[in-house]
């Protein structure tokens, strides 16, 4: 489509130079009735206070008809400087036309006088209504819980908020988050900027940083309407001093908050530390120590306290041979409040002895970091002894040997046998007319139907295109994931190898360097290859899990599951590619 700067499509502004607190109108006018698809420019350095307001004008004078259509916005500058507002666009006669650009100069000077401010309802609202984000700790350790509260302050003597709604939720990149539901808004009193004001709590979130360094909490943005008292107070018919009231619309932002996340100390860090941060108790309990064979017992591994409970993996028990161990039953009771997460998590194992004897279940260790004392602590459980006094003994192969036969060589003098065992020599059967003779005779005839049967089976396998593709894809997935499989149990190398394998697979299939492009671009390429949406979503999820799991505690069982997910998604993709 050809692009034309049109003389029939114009941009006009009410001011070209104004103060930071001032506003101006910008109008885009088109004098062609057939023009369509109006698109405003990007008002990057300005806040849209009102608009667009659309108007259409027809005139018929002295036999001549004229037409104009306009779109008007009211803008307020965000900062000082010289800015160029780009062209608006529209479509006319199959061509894209552009309005002229406009340069606007914003200066600090000429702020509105006190009288002007008092008579401007919007400025009065901005001076009396505030959205504030309050963070409990801006310098936490990685893994340490913090919280953020969003409060709407207002001076009710000058402004009263009607309805408000969130236009943009805050974004917490690099944090685990949990929102605390607010059942209803309650008015409270507090101090802000040295003034006593009313406030409402709009939102509460508990955050746990997963990365070290400076992380940004993106702003919450809201839109509200407020009744504002402005202008000079006058007496009403009852003699009371009152001000004029006006309802205004206001957009507020809480602003960006920087959180400086500290790394955990390396000094005295236990070898078995897996990322638990907080204050915890750890215990391993069992309901029985004496039981019969095939009678079950329960062993419970529990962590209780306050901290990053939802990100902790419980230690696994190890049972000796002869004790059958079943998959544990997991349970967690975790409460979320402004002080963080509190409660407990536990695994309950069912243990069944197979034989008579005494069995030792080794002790478990759990280590955590206490951010208050800035120290690591390790809690060790006691060994558990399971006594099974009744039941069968383990079956063992017993080799009974004769001392007379031990260590005999050809050079030794052998023992004299006191008894003999004589056997009759049986005449061997002739090969001719023997069973073996007839079997070999029939074998060539039997090979014909066997060959036909095997040939039919091969043709069936060759005709199973889907099955063969599935087997080929499964072998291909395991080939690409061989390095990741070798690193199972080593968290960091495993997830690096797994992510690399996924990229190498796409590189081989799509002939592009996928490690250098975004996940959105990968999704686009796969869509072009007619891969279904569910498969693409699953593949991107596996990639995201590789990235996220490096910063969170991960168990061997989770790594096994991630590996299996990768095998399945590569197998599925290979059917399409």
pLDDT digit string, tens, across residues 101-156: 999 888 876 545 444 555 678 888 888 899 999 999 999 999 999 999 999 999 88
Query: Same domain, yes or no, for 128 and 248?
Result: yes
Q: Which residue has the higher pLDDT, 401 or 409?
A: 409
Answer with the residue of higher pLDDT: 211 or 460: 211
Q: Which of 488, 482, 486 is nearest to 559 (CA)?
A: 488
402, part of any domain: no
Is residue 474 located within the same domain as residue 569? Answer: yes
Return the DSSP state at 309. Answer: G
User: How would residue 60 be classed by pLDDT, with cut points 50, 70 and 90?
Assistant: low
212 and 286, same domain (yes or no): no
- Domain end marker among 350, 371, 388: 388
pLDDT exceeds 50 at position 406: no
pLDDT tens digit string along 205-222?
999 999 999 999 999 999
Q: Given this model, what pLDDT does residue 430 score?
A: 62
What pLDDT, in 10s, does the model give residues 220-254? Answer: 999 999 888 765 555 544 545 456 678 889 899 99
Does residue 529 sit within a domain? yes
Residue 398 pLDDT grade (very low, low, confident, very high; cuts 50, 70, 90): very low
CATH of the domain at 542: 1.20.120
What average pLDDT score do residues 52-67 get?
A: 72
- Would you state the pLDDT for residue 471? 60
Separation CA 542–CA 489 (nearest Å): 18
> Which two structure tokens, joined as six digits, stand for 506?
């796409």
185 plus 290 within the same structural domain: no
Is 422 domain-assigned? no
- Clarify whether residues 126 and 107 are in a common domain: no
Residues 6+ apart with CB under 8 A from 225: 161, 162, 163, 164, 247, 248, 249, 250
Confidence class of residue 499 from pLDDT cuts 50, 70 and 90? Answer: confident
Please tell me the predicted confidence (pLDDT) of residue 537: 86
- The answer to whether 98 and 6 have CB atoms below 8 angstroms apart is yes
- H-state helical runs in 428-554: 435-463, 465-480, 482-486, 491-510, 519-528, 533-549
Q: With a cut of 60, say whether residue 473 has pLDDT above it.
A: no
**Residues 124, 100 share a domain:** no
Query: Do 196 and 325 lie in a common domain?
Result: no
- Of the candidates 466, 460, 461, 463, which has an alpha carbon nearest to the alpha carbon of residue 574? 466
Give the CA count within 13 Å in the CB-facing half-sphere of 132: 19
Instruction: Point out the least confidently predicted range of 260-264, 302-306, 406-410.
Output: 406-410
Residue 76 lies in a domain: yes
Q: Which residue has the higher pLDDT, 290 or 521?
A: 290
The 3-state secondary structure of 20-82 reads CCCCEEEEEEECCCCCEEEECCCCCCEEEEEEEEEEEEEEEECCEEEEEEEEEEEEEECCCEE
Are both 230 and 155 inside the same structural domain? yes
Residue 396 has pLDDT above 70, yes or no: no
**Residue 495, domain extent:** 466-576
Most confident range (mean pLDDT) of 296-300, 387-391, 486-490 is 296-300
Residue 269 included in any domain? no
Q: Is the pLDDT of residue 23 over 60?
A: yes
Say what the pLDDT of residue 3 is: 45
The pLDDT value given to residue 237: 47
Same domain, 52 and 70: yes
pLDDT tier at 404, thresholds 50, 70, 90: very low
More confident call, 191 vs 429: 191
291: nearest Cα among 213, 227, 384? 384
Identify the top-confidence range among 39-48, 58-67, 560-569.
39-48
Q: Is 266 domain-assigned?
A: no
Does residue 9 belong to any structural domain of this protein? yes
Would residue 426 count as lying in a domain? no
200 touches 259 (CB < 8 A): no
Phi then psi dihedrals of residue 61, to 5 deg: -125, 125
Return the CATH number at 26.
2.60.40.10
**536-546: average pLDDT:** 83
* Lowest mean pLDDT segment, chosen from 278-287, 334-343, 406-415: 406-415
Q: How many CB atoms lie within 10 A of CB 523?
A: 16
Last-in-domain residue among 372, 388, 404: 388
Kindly report, residue by residue over 376-390, the tens digit of the pLDDT. 999 999 999 989 888
pLDDT band at 391 (very low <50, low <70, confident <90, very high): confident
| Angle, CA 17 vertex, CA 13 and CA 21 arms, to 5° | 100
Number of Cβ atoms within 10 Å of the Cβ of 148 = 24
Specify the long-range contacts of residues 539-548, CB closer than 8 Å, at least 24 apart: 539/502, 539/569, 539/573, 542/498, 542/502, 542/566, 542/569, 543/499, 543/502, 543/519, 544/519, 546/495, 546/496, 546/498, 546/499, 546/502, 547/495, 547/499, 548/210
Mean pLDDT for all residues in the chain: 81
Q: What is the mean pLDDT of residues 459-473?
A: 60
d(CA 71, CA 269): 65
Q: For position 562, what pLDDT does the model report? A: 82
Residue 89, pLDDT above cutoff 70: yes
* Last residue in a domain, options 236, 261, 286: 261
Checking if the pLDDT of 356 tops 70, the result is yes
Q: What is the mean pLDDT of residues 277-298?
A: 90
Tell me the C-alpha distance between 366 and 345, whole Å: 13
Burial of 49 (0-12, 13-18, 19+ CB in 10 A): middle
CA dihedral 545, 550, 554, 555 (to 10 degrees): 100
* Most confidently modeled range among 78-87, 233-242, 506-515: 78-87
Strand, helix or coil at 375? Answer: strand
Q: Which of 40-49, 270-279, 326-335, 362-371 has the lowest mean pLDDT?
A: 40-49
122 and 107 assigned to the same domain: no
Same domain, residue pair 282 and 147: no
Same domain assignment for residues 354 and 305: yes
Cα separation, 138 vs 209, in Å, equals 11
Query: What's the CATH code of the domain at 323?
Result: 2.60.40.740
Question: Which of 197, 199, 196 lies closest to 186 in space, CA to CA?
Answer: 199
How many domains is the chain built from?
A: 4
What is the DSSP code string of 105-132? EEES-SPPPHHHHHT-HHHHHHTTEEEE
């Amino acid at each position: 489509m050809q692009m034309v700067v049109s003389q029939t499509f114009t941009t006009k502004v009410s001011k070209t130079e104004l103060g930071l607190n001032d506003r101006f109108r910008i109008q885009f006018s088109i004098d062609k009735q057939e023009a369509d698809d109006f698109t405003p420019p990007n008002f990057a350095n300005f806040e849209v206070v009102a608009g667009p307001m659309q108007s259409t004008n027809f005139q018929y004078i002295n036999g001549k008809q004229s037409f104009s259509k306009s779109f008007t916005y009211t803008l307020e500058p965000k900062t000082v400087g010289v800015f160029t507002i780009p062209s608006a666009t529209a479509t006319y006669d199959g061509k894209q036309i552009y309005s002229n650009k406009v340069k606007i100069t914003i200066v600090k000077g000429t702020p509105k006088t006190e009288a002007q401010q008092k008579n401007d309802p919007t400025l009065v609202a901005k001076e009396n209504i505030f959205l504030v984000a309050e963070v409990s700790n801006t310098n936490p350790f990685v893994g340490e819980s913090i919280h953020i509260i969003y409060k709407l302050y207002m001076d009710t003597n000058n402004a009263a908020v009607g309805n408000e709604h969130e236009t943009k939720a805050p974004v917490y990149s690099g944090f685990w988050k949990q929102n605390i539901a607010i059942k209803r808004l309650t008015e409270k009193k507090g101090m802000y900027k040295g003034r006593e004001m009313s406030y409402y709590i709009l939102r509460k979130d508990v955050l746990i940083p997963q990365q070290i360094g400076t992380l940004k909490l993106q702003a919450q943005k809201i839109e509200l309407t407020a009744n504002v008292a402005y202008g000079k107070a006058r007496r009403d018919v009852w003699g009371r001093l009152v001000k004029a009231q006006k309802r205004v619309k206001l957009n507020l932002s809480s602003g960006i908050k920087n959180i400086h996340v500290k790394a955990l100390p390396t000094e005295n860090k236990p070898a078995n530390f897996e990322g638990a941060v907080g204050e915890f108790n750890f215990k391993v309990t069992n309901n029985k120590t004496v039981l019969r064979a095939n009678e079950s017992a329960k062993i419970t591994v529990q962590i209780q306290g306050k901290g990053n409970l939802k990100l902790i993996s419980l230690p696994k028990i190890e049972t000796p041979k002869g004790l059958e161990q079943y998959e544990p039953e997991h349970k967690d009771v975790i409460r979320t409040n402004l002080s963080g997460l509190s409660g407990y998590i536990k695994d309950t194992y069912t243990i069944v002895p197979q034989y008579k004897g005494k069995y030792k279940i080794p002790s478990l260790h759990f280590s955590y970091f206490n951010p208050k004392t800035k120290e690591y602590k390790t809690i060790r459980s006691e060994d558990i002894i399971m006594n099974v006094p009744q039941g069968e003994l383990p079956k063992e192969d017993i080799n009974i040997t004769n001392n007379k036969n031990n260590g005999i060589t050809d050079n030794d003098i052998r023992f004299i046998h006191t008894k003999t065992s004589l056997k009759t020599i049986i005449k061997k059967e002739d090969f001719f007319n023997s069973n073996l003779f007839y079997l070999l005779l029939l074998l060539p005839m039997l090979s014909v139907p066997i060959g036909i049967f095997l040939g039919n089976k091969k043709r069936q396998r060759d005709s199973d295109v889907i099955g063969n593709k599935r087997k080929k894809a499964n072998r291909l997935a395991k080939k690409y994931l061989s390095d990741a499989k070798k690193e199972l149990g080593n968290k960091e190398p495993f997830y690096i190898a797994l992510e690399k394998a996924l990229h190498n697979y796409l590189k081989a299939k799509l002939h592009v360097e996928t490690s250098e492009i975004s996940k959105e671009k990968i999704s686009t390429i796969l869509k072009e290859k007619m891969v279904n949406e569910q498969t693409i979503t699953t593949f991107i999820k596996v990639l995201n899990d590789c990235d996220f799991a490096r910063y969170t505690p991960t168990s061997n069982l989770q790594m096994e599951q991630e590996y299996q997910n990768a095998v399945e998604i590569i197998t599925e993709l290979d059917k399409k590619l």
